Amino acid sequence: MAFLMIFLPIFLSIVLYLGTRKDESQTKYIAMGWFGLQLVYALVLLSQLPEHGMLDLGTYLSVPEFNFDLKLQVDALSVIMLILTAGLLLLVSLTSWEEKNQGGYFSLLVLFSGPIFGVFMTTNVLWFFMFWELTLLPMLFLVGVWGGERRIYAAVKFFLYTHVASMFMLVGFFLLYKQTGMWDISMIKEAAIATPALVWWLMFIGFAAKLPSFPFHTWLPDAHVEAPSAISVLLAGVLLKMGAYGLIRFTVELMPETTKEFAVYMLAFGLVTTLFAGFLAVYERHIKKMVAYSSISHMGLVVVAISTMTYDGLSAALYEMVGHALVISPLFLIAGWFHHKTHTWYLDEMGGIMKKAPYISAIFILAGMAGLGLPGTMGFVGELTIIVSAVKSFGWWIAIIALSGLITAGYIIWAVRRSIHGEISPAVEKAEFVMSMPERVGLSIFAILIIYFGIRPQPIFDLANQAFSFLGGM
Amino acid sequence: MSFAILIIAGLIVPLFYKKHITVAKIVTAAAFAMSALFIFMGNDLSQFFNYFASDDATRLIEYVVLLTLVAVSVSLTGFERPMLAQMLFLGGISLAILETTNMFIFIVLFEAIAIISYVLAANIRNYYNAEGAIKTFIAGAVAGGVILLGFAIFSVITPSFDYATMEVSSKYSLVAAAIMLAGIFYKLTIVPMHGWASDAYAQINHAVASILSGLIKSVILVAVFKAFYPFFKSFPSVSVLIFSFFAVVTMTLANFMALWQKRVSKVLAYSSIAHSGYALIPFAAVASKYAYSGILYYAIAYTFMQTSVFMILNGLRKDLGIKYIEDLKGLSKKSGVYAFFFTAQLFSLAGIPLLAGFLSKAVAFYAGVDAGLWPLVLVALLNSALAVAYYAWLVKHIYFDAPEDDRTSTIPTGALIGQSILLAGTIYFGIVAGQVISSSMM
């Protein structure tokens, strides 16, 4: 079953594309059916997880001479990512209800769903890399075909940038295999206690570019701005999480001693990313670019939390990863919807949207407030736990990270002030703010989850407890 | 028997291909199938002659060669039909050179392949083809001369031509081997002996280019490794130095040159040269137990990918007059099936996972890391990422740009079968690595 969850979508996407060429209307239902199945499967895995360690899902395509096989195992960390991925794919489908060329679009989403499950399910380093790279292909086409005016530039830049960074990671994996003679994470862990610094840095570059951390972040604003909003959600909600997942899995978990040695550099990257991207967001007129910089800034917080290498820090990182996906997604979706209706990307050319679209504006404000850490939302819990864990690990000086909350407040309140409130601008005056029911449902689910997990964060922290039980030995 | 069947069929097929092309294709495919069956049954040249030996790895690459030749043969149309006989002869000679364990036989068969490649290139329809054919011939003749010079020196030194017992430890034999390799580098299109190939591959008939740049190069890669392995083992540090240098120069120059090309065939030609550079890494990594696996995997994957892309270009040139990258605009709308096959194989050449191009590079490059050559591998991976730029550029024209005319094309049945076979090979070896590695561990 686990094997099918990864490989079936690859063939399903081809069948879906060819089978619905004459009548594309059914494609989205079939795709949603598949994503629903994946979500159910992920929830079943959640119910079967052992107290500690990993749940074995089988070994396939074995090459004993190369110690190479497709070993599928999951723990709480991977299952959370699987649930997040399948859930986001479902919500993205809802919010893409009226997308053009639905046959190709939903086929590519289905194609994406296979390797991304592979990324989070395999414990074989080389297979992990293969799935990691394969996720780029559907994204390349989704951005390149369905994106905005500069979509081709953005798609090719995104593809090349992350691909080049991955090459460093691959050399790191090769060196790791040379050192240990094993491709499987759980076995490498025991053999690679003192990993050479070179291996660590090669891997870090690959993951940092995906996160993206400063100075490897320049591909993301272009990709986000040009991608259709629903694809921006996948970029921010799933693709960036691959970077954070990789950092946790391959640096903290796999090479704890070496990571300890370089934790301070990781912290520096995280801090600079958070503050630098935050300041860029403040100066941004382009609503989607502002959200993109906000996304980068929040991922910087995740890096800070990971760099603590403590149970508290990693739990906070995991919570923030989920929170970031749920908070940034409606911001992207609504920013894209505003543009679609008003034909402008610029905040100062919008204004008074609240008067014409109060329901959607309210969700935008809610997500924005969650982004700046308003109590009662996921943003508050995530940012607070990160700050507390960072202070515990690095001392009081790290409280400067709280500045990021202030910066976020600056650009979010300013954006709300300019686009949502104020006088109705000519662009808004002319626009008809009508949203389809599935899109409304999708956005509402995001809003409900932001508040639900903001008030009841415990289910995520319970899973974090399971995920990071290995820290008990540190 | 496997060898004899192909040679006999090659003599028979010309009787049919003028009036009964379907019969000729069936005879050709049947000959390849029977040959494969005899290989499977262990009925190869080693049964009759002492100068040949076969093992699992050899049999595997032989199946790939035969399968690729079937794919090309069923795709041939019109004036390309005489190539059917040459496909059969090439199949027979390829099996022999892959099985031989004797340097003298290797040189003879190497020259036989060269002669077949001249005949193939002589499939001339215009001045452009003629120029390419002349370049192929002159470069081949020069290469042949250089190889024979090296072999002449070697024959004075060695008491035996058998791979296992030939003299490989003296410095004179090193000089002889170096001269022979210089000639072979022409055929493998290693920089700076590559100049002819970038023009010739682009100018000759693209079906012929698919064989020259894909299949023949792959067969030579494996055969050369087997023939020269004793030299590499005797002089490991020299091997590392020479092959690392030529690998870096070849892949880097070819990739940068590919970026500036306007003709699709030129991009593919330089891509082919760059791949020769990558393929030298396992040669440099002769100290690794994965060196032969790297060569074998690379040869298998490269045969499927490179043969396929030139065969597709051949079809596109005939059906839609596509020559320049600009002509590819909107190909997905003009011919969705061609676009799909072309894109899949380009991604494989780029090293995208679940396609053979990735796993073959992974194994070949890991051999380099295993031999302690990780900086070389890093350069190769960065080159590989650079190469993605021009493959992505082609894909961008195919899928993201609107067509500039309303011509459309449907892939002929023969080409559809041929391309399906080649893509199946690319996908199979992109997922299943077991057979290649287990058969070729040193």
Residue A59: its pLDDT value, please? 87
Closest-CA residue of B relative to A114 is B354
Closest CA to A168 of A210, A199, A135: A199
Strand partners, B139: none
Question: What is chain A's alpha carbon radius of gyration, rounded to the nearest angstrom?
Answer: 21
Nearest residue of chain A to residue B399 (CA atoms): A145
Cα nearest neighbour of B431 on chain A: A61
Please state, in angstroms and rounded to a whole number, the distance separating the CA atoms of residues B10 and A292. Answer: 64
Query: Using the beta-carbon criterion (under 8 Å), do A156 and B352 form an inter-chain contact?
Result: no
Contact A134 B354 (CB under 8 A): yes
Amino acid at A334: I
Predicted pLDDT of residue B178: 93
- CA A51 to chain CA centroid, Å, is 26
Residue A339: which of A433, A416, A437, A231 has the closest Cα? A433
Nearest chain B residue (CA) to A142: B400
Distance from CA of B77 to the nearest CA of A (A): 28
Assess contact for B84 and B54: CB atoms under 8 A.
Answer: no
Task: Tell me which residue has tokens 């079906």.
Answer: B207
Distance, in Å, from the CA atom of B5 to the CA atom of A174, rounded to the nearest integer, reads: 44
pLDDT of residue A344: 86
Looking at CA atoms only, how far is residue B380 from chain A in angstroms?
A: 9
Contact criterion met (CB < 8 Å) for A130 and B400: no
- pLDDT, residue B148, reads 94
The predicted model gives A446-455 an average pLDDT of 92
Residues of A in contact with B365 (CB under 8 A): 174
Note the residue count of chain B.
442
Task: Report which of residues A23 and A33 the model is more confident about.
Answer: A33
Query: What's the mean per-residue pLDDT of chain A?
Result: 87
CA distances from A352 to A349, A359, A416 (A): 10, 13, 10
**pLDDT tens column, A354-378:** 888 888 889 999 999 888 888 889 9
Query: pLDDT tens digits, chain B, 442 residues: what are they?
Result: 788 899 999 898 888 877 788 888 889 999 999 999 999 988 878 777 888 888 899 999 999 999 999 999 999 887 788 888 999 999 999 999 999 999 999 999 999 999 999 998 887 777 888 888 888 899 989 999 999 999 999 999 998 999 988 988 888 999 999 999 999 999 889 988 888 888 888 888 889 999 998 999 999 999 999 999 999 988 988 899 999 999 999 999 999 999 889 999 999 999 999 999 999 999 999 989 899 999 999 999 999 999 999 999 999 998 898 999 999 999 988 998 999 999 999 999 998 888 999 999 999 999 999 998 989 999 998 898 889 889 988 988 998 888 888 888 889 999 999 999 999 999 999 998 888 888 887 6
Q: Which residues pair with A346 in a beta bridge?
A: A286
The whole-angstrom distance between A313's CA and the closest CA on chain B is: 34
Alpha carbon of residue B278 to chain centroid: 13
pTM of the model: 0.89
Please state the φ and ψ torsions of residue B231, each to the nearest 5 degrees. Answer: -65, -45
**CA gap A151, A138 in Å, rounded:** 14
Using a CB-CB cut-off of 8 Å, the residues of chain B touching A167 are: 378, 381-382, 384-385
B369 touches chain A (CB under 8 A): yes
Cα–Cα distance for residue pair B73/B68, rounded to 1 Å: 8
d(CA B100, CA B188): 19
Q: Which of A152, A175, A178 sits opposite B396 (nearest CB)?
A: A152
- Confidence label for A246 from pLDDT (cuts 50, 70 and 90): very high
pLDDT tens profile A289-324: 889 999 999 999 999 999 998 888 999 999 999 999
Contacts of A159 in chain B (CB under 8 A): 388, 392
How many other CB atoms sit within 10 Å of the CB of residue B410?
12
pLDDT of res. A185:
85
pLDDT confidence bin for A1, thresholds 50/70/90 = confident
Q: What is the pLDDT of residue A472?
A: 56
Amino acid identity, residue A122?
T
Chain A residues with CB under 8 Å of B437 CB are 63, 65-66, 68
Smallest Cα distance from A25 to chain B, Å = 20
Asked whether B101 and B227 are in contact (CB, 8 A), the reply is no
> Does the beta carbon of B377 lie under 8 angstroms from any beta carbon of chain A?
yes
How much is the pLDDT for A194?
66
pLDDT of residue B18: 76
Put simply, the chain B residues between 395 and 414 with a CB less than 8 A from any chain A CB are 396, 399-400
What's the CA gap between A387 and A406, in Å, rounded? 13
CB-nearest to B382 from A141, A156, A167 is A167
Question: Domain extents for chain B?
Answer: 2-440
3-class SS string, chain B: CHHHHHHHHHHHHHHCCCCCHHHHHHHHHHHHHHHHHHHHCCCCHHHCCCCECCCHHHHHHHHHHHHHHHHHHHHCCHHHCCHHHHHHHHHHHHHHHHHECEHHHHHHHHHHHHHHHHHHHCCCCCHHHHHHHHHHHHHHHHHHHHHHHHHHHHHHHCCCCECCCCCCCCHHHHHHHHHHHHHHHHHCCCCCCCHHHHHHHHHCCHHHHHHHHHHHHHHHHHHHHHHHHHHHHHCHHHHHHHHHHHHHHHHHHHHHHHHCCCEHHHHHHHHHHHHHHHHHHHHHCCCCCCHHHHHHHHHHHHHHHHHHHHHHHHHHHHHHCCCEHHHHCCHHHHCHHHHHHHHHHHHHHHCCCCCHHHHHHHHHHHHHHHCCCHHHHHHHHHHHHHHHHHHHHHHHHHHHCCCCCCCCCCCCHHHHHHHHHHHHHHHHHHHCCHHHHHHHCC
DSSP symbol at A122: B
Residue B433: which of A10, A68, A152 has the nearest Cβ?
Answer: A68
* Pure H helices in A211-255: 219-226, 229-234, 240-246
- How far away is chain B from the Cα of A130, in angstroms, using its nearest Cα? 5
Query: Does A330 have pLDDT greater than 60?
Result: yes
**Among all residues of chain B, which has the CA nearest to that of A127?**
B353
CA distance B379 to chain A (A): 10
Phi, psi of A60 (to 5 degrees): -130, 165
* Residue tagged 């899902």 (tokens): A57
- Separation of alpha carbons A123 and A1, rounded Å: 17
What's the confidence (pLDDT) of residue A473?
A: 41
Tell me the three state secondary structure of residue A405: helix
Query: What is the distance between the alpha carbons of residues A162 and A239, in angstroms, rounded to a whole number?
Result: 11
Number of continuous H segments (helices) and E segments (strands) in chain A: 22, 2
Q: pLDDT tens digits, residue range A193-206?
A: 667 888 899 999 99
Report whether A71 contacts A109 (CB < 8 A). Answer: no
Residues of chain A in Cβ contact (below 8 Å) with chain B:
10, 61-66, 68, 115, 126, 129-131, 133-134, 136-137, 140-141, 144-145, 151-152, 155-156, 159-160, 163-164, 167-168, 170-171, 174-175, 177-178
Q: Which helix (H) or strand (E) holds A265?
A: helix A256-282
CB-CB under 8 Å, B353 with A134: yes
Q: Per this entry, what is the length of chain A? A: 474
To test the contact with chain A by mutation, choose from B399, B436, B439, B440 the residue with the greatest count of A C-beta atoms within 10 A, namely B399
ipTM of this complex: 0.83
Cα distance between residue A57 and residue A228, in whole Å: 35
- Over the stretch A93-141, which tens digit does the pLDDT of each residue have? 988 888 888 888 999 999 999 999 999 999 999 999 999 999 988 998 8
A34-72 CB burial, b ≥16 within 10 A, e <16:
bbeebbebbeebbeebeeeebbebeebeebebbbbbbbb
DSSP string over A419-467: IISSSPPHHHHH------HHHHHHHHHHHHHHHHHHH--HHHHHHHHHH
Give the one of A126, A130, A145 whose C-beta lies nearest to B399's C-beta.
Answer: A145
Of the candidates B289, B276, B285, which has an alpha carbon nearest to the alpha carbon of residue B249? Answer: B276
Cβ neighbours of residue B174 under 8 Å, at least 6 residues apart?
B231, B234, B235, B238
Beta bridge partners of A122: A72
| A10 to chain B: closest CA residue | B354
Name the closest residue on chain A to residue B430, using Cα atoms: A130
Let me know: does A238 contact A278? Beta carbons within 8 Å.
Answer: no
Ramachandran angles phi, psi of A433, nearest 5°: -95, 80
Measured over the CA atoms of residue A282, residue A288, residue A291 and residue A297, the dihedral's sign is negative
Distance CA A158, CA B45 (A): 52
Report the candidate in B297, B139, B302 with the shortest Cα–Cα distance to residue B216.
Answer: B302
Interface with B, mutate which of A167, A180, A199 (most B CBs under 10 A): A167
Contact assignment for A126 to B400 by CB distance below 8 Å: no
> Backbone phi, then psi, for A124, in 5-degree steps?
-90, 125
> Using alpha carbons only, how large is chain B's radius of gyration in Å?
20
Q: Which of A133, A151, A174 is nearest residue B366 as measured by Cβ atoms?
A: A174
Whether residue A27 has pLDDT greater than 50? yes
- State the residue for tokens 């935008």: A364
CB contact under 8 A, B377 and A152: no
